Amino acid sequence: MGYRTKIKPDYNLIEGLVSTGAKVLDLGCGDGTLLSLLIERKQVKGVGVDIYEDGLNDCLKKGLSVLQLDLNKGLSRFKDGSFDYVILNMTLQATYNPLQLIKEMVRVGRKAIVGFPNFGHWKLVLSLLLKERMPKNKTLPYEWYNTPNIRLMTIKDFRVLCRESGIKIIGETFLGEDGEKIGGRLISWRAAEGIFELSSR
């Protein structure tokens, strides 16, 4: 099992959510692109976590601090409040126990940043209705039989999960199909991706 995806997240948007000089834990860090950017532009003290050796090797070549861990087994190696931010971008939908991982993120970090594709986007829903096949787009470029995405969720699903689990949503950002920020009405239908800032406090 893995949680690698082909999705190209908006790193600049995440950079804007992180304070200069913060301590950051980047979960599912891949080749370390986001972590490198945060170190360079925000002078963060960062650690990356991934399960795949090739991504970890790329991180080590960049001089990044990384650990090989399976996120499905939790974050027990980290103490409460060890980081200012714990980031999980475009990976939550590929984990076995998302709620456990989110709870661990807000335990380990003062704040958590979670980004995921919105499976309730209107074009995905319409495509499923009209074609009767699992839809694909820029955010979800896989066939049903080779996708790493094992949890199909919508923005509303995520909000309900947080509310029912006592996890505070302290910020929300939504992106359209082309990565542009969107606002206004019917966000649950219009957003291709949601990025949430969370806290347990």
Task: Determine which of 17-21, 105-109, 168-172, 181-185 has the lowest per-residue pLDDT on average.
Answer: 181-185
CATH number for the domain that contains residue 121: 3.40.50.150
Q: Is residue 2 part of a domain?
A: no
Q: Is residue 3 part of a domain?
A: no
Q: Is residue 106 part of a domain?
A: yes
Q: Is residue 6 part of a domain?
A: no
**58-79 confidence digits (pLDDT tens):** 999 999 999 999 999 999 999 9
Q: Is residue 54 part of a domain?
A: yes
Rounded to an integer, the average pLDDT of 165-178 is 93
pTM for the whole structure = 0.89
Q: Is residue 108 part of a domain?
A: yes
Q: Is residue 169 part of a domain?
A: yes
Rounded to an integer, the average pLDDT of 87-111 is 95
User: Structural domain tally of the chain?
Assistant: 1
Helix/strand/coil (H/E/C) assignment for every residue in 21-76: CCEEEEECCCCCHHHHHHHHHHCCEEEEEECCHHHHHHHHHCCCCEEECCHHHCCC
Q: Is residue 131 part of a domain?
A: yes
Domain boundaries, position 33? 11-199
